[in-house]
């Protein structure tokens, strides 16, 4: 199980002090958080993409490249890379470059985002969102998998004898997760290609996400990539911890009540009862996180949103230290004990390179046998 952190990159006023961090402070904070993620032994740091206030992360690959230079082990990913409004050629180039700079420590989550105005800003129509996602991803795959691409489609200028550079590291493209919170077509695309499916299940009751993940697993098996329970699934989560549950609730409540994403909506108590948000002790975080497997089956990646709603950097780093000391070791032990032998781990660059080499050896042996028969 890969365990990590994702950020939506919001810049939000701290409701307890009235202070709003600057863009520079939040950008530098993302680097500090990623370094802490590695320090405490987590596996993944993921950063979202937005092109509007109150968010700062318009160029996640730039930030992740900077983080790559200051870390050695963690996987660097995106919480969403906008497959609909980014040029697939630029995605192919940027992530291949990041692959090389990070020695393969990179994958990405593709999605359509949740900001409607981004479409006209980049010359697109939101009504074409699903078609854009499907066509752009098809092209992205070709750009990574084929040295010379000749292509034409509905939404982009045709390509003739085009080679995306740099080529993917070791001729193995970054692993792709498809992120969705509501769209069955995206689950279908993930299943068709045998990619991962990241269900950011932090906002709605589990029954909604059970349907999406169930569809993805069913179609993953249909397309011959493995059994349904071997499909590659990632989930979101949220927590705020203190040693004492009452202290956690008291401290986090003003942040929850004023958060842009869910403030002035359901009560903290209602939200924690209906979604993965846990506000309490480390033991409560452990217990609730372990229930995700009961709802969604064995899965490969668990990411937590913790640096939002105006929480100061000092508090976020304290949360990570507490997680590393009291939660992470228990989750690792429990996940390892529960995981069936036939369920794969989350793909990494090293495992995908090994798989590609194995496929080449098998293909070569089959060709040799065919030649002898002839």
Decide if pLDDT at 71 tops 70: yes
CATH code, domain with 288: 3.20.20.30
d(CA 363, CA 365): 5
pLDDT in tens, 10-49: 999 999 999 999 999 999 999 999 999 999 999 999 999 9
Residue 284 belongs to what domain range?
2-346
Q: 151 pLDDT band (50/70/90 cuts)? A: very high
Assess contact for 246 and 315: CB atoms under 8 A.
Answer: no
Q: Residue 374: is its pLDDT beyond 60? A: no
Compute the Cα dihedral for 216, 219, 223, 225 and give only its sign.
positive
Residue 362 lies in a domain: no
pLDDT given for residue 359 in this prediction: 83
Percent of residues, the chain, with pLDDT higher than 70: 97
Measure the CA–CA gap between 43 and 54, rounded to whole angstroms: 27
Q: How far apart (Å, rounded) are the C-alpha atoms in residues 140 and 137? A: 5
Domain assignment of residue 360, yes or no: no
151 inside domain: yes
Average pLDDT rounded to a whole number, residues 173-190: 93
Within-domain flag for 372: no
pTM, full prediction: 0.94
What's the domain count of the chain? Answer: 1
Q: What is the pLDDT of residues 282-314, one digit of tens each?
A: 999 999 999 999 999 999 999 999 999 999 999
Q: Does a structural domain hold residue 352?
A: no
pLDDT in the model for residue 204: 76
- Residue 59 clears pLDDT 60, i.e. is over it: yes
Q: Is residue 359 part of a domain?
A: no
CA–CA separation, 225 and 192 (whole Å) = 9
Q: Which residues contact 67 (CB under 8 A, 6 or more apart)?
A: 30, 31, 34, 35, 45, 76
């Amino acid at each position: 199980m890969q365990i990590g952190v994702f950020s939506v990159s919001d810049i939000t006023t701290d409701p307890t002090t009235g202070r709003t961090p600057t863009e520079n402070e939040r950008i530098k904070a993302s680097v500090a958080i990623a370094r802490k993620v590695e320090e405490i032994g987590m596996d993944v740091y993921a950063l979202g993409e937005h092109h509007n206030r109150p968010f700062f992360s318009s160029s996640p690959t730039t930030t992740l490249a900077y983080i790559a230079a200051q870390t050695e082990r963690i996987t660097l990913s995106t919480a969403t890379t906008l497959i609909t409004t980014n040029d697939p050629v630029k995605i192919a180039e940027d992530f291949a470059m990041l692959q090389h700079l990070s020695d393969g420590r990179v994958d990405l989550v593709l999605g359509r985002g949740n900001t409607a105005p981004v479409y006209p800003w980049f010359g697109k129509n939101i009504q074409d969102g699903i078609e854009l996602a499907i066509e752009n991803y098809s092209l992205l795959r070709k750009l990574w998998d084929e040295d010379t691409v000749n292509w034409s489609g509905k939404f982009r200028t045709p390509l003739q004898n085009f080679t995306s550079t740099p080529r993917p590291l070791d001729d193995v493209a970054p692993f792709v997760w498809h992120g969705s919170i509501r769209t069955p077509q995206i689950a279908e695309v993930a299943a068709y290609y045998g990619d991962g499916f990241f269900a950011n299940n932090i906002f709605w009751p589990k029954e909604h996400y059970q349907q999406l993940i169930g569809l993805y697993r069913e179609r993953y098996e249909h397309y011959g990539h493995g059994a349904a329970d071997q499909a590659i699934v990632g989930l979101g989560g949220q927590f705020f911890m203190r040693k004492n549950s009452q202290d956690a609730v008291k401290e986090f409540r003003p942040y929850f009540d004023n958060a842009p994403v869910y403030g002035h909506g359901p009560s903290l108590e209602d939200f924690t009862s209906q979604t993965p948000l846990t506000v309490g002790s480390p033991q409560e975080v452990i217990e609730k996180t372990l229930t995700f497997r009961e709802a969604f089956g064995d899965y490969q990646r668990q990411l937590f949103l913790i640096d939002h709603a105006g929480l100061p950097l000092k508090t976020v780093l304290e949360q990570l230290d507490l997680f590393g000391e009291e939660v992470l070791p228990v989750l690792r032990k429990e996940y390892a004990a529960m995981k069936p032998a036939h369920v794969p781990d989350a793909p990494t660059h090293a495992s995908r390179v090994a798989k590609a080499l194995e496929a080449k050896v098998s293909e070569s042996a089959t060709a040799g046998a065919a030649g002898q028969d002839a």
